[in-house]
């Protein structure tokens, strides 16, 4: 999975439309293999981002949360811990 796409479900405060759109942009970039489309492909690229954002928003509203809500700081701490673990594994090899 693309490391730039973050979990968006069950956050407190709730996920914003900007966060959803940023994830859609990352997804479309990954799938298309390009950071910036050519002028000829710009409309298709923009349409795909809009469609992915809308689909993601529908998914997030349809899911039923379990457990405690996530916090952005809590997710950052988890990411730091994973990174530290990876660093330690690299040093050992």
What is the C-alpha separation between 37 and 71, in angstroms, rounded? 34
Quick check: bond before 53 cis, omega within 30?
no
pTM: predicted TM-score of the whole model, two decimal places: 0.79
Whether the predicted pLDDT of 17 surpasses 90: yes
The burial class, CB within 10 Å (0-12 / 13-18 / 19+), for 76 is exposed
Write down the domain spans for the chain.
17-92
pLDDT digits (tens, 9 = 90+) for 53-79: 999 999 999 999 999 999 999 999 998
């Amino acid at each position: 999975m693309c490391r730039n796409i973050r979990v968006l479900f069950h956050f407190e405060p709730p996920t914003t439309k900007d966060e959803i759109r940023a994830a859609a942009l990352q997804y479309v970039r990954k799938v298309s293999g390009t950071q910036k489309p050519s002028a000829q492909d710009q409309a298709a690229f923009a349409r795909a981002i809009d469609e992915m954002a809308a689909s993601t928003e529908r998914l997030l509203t349809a899911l039923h949360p379990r457990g405690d809500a996530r916090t952005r700081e809590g997710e950052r701490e988890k990411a730091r811990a994973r990174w530290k673990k990876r660093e330690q594994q690299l040093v050992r090899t």
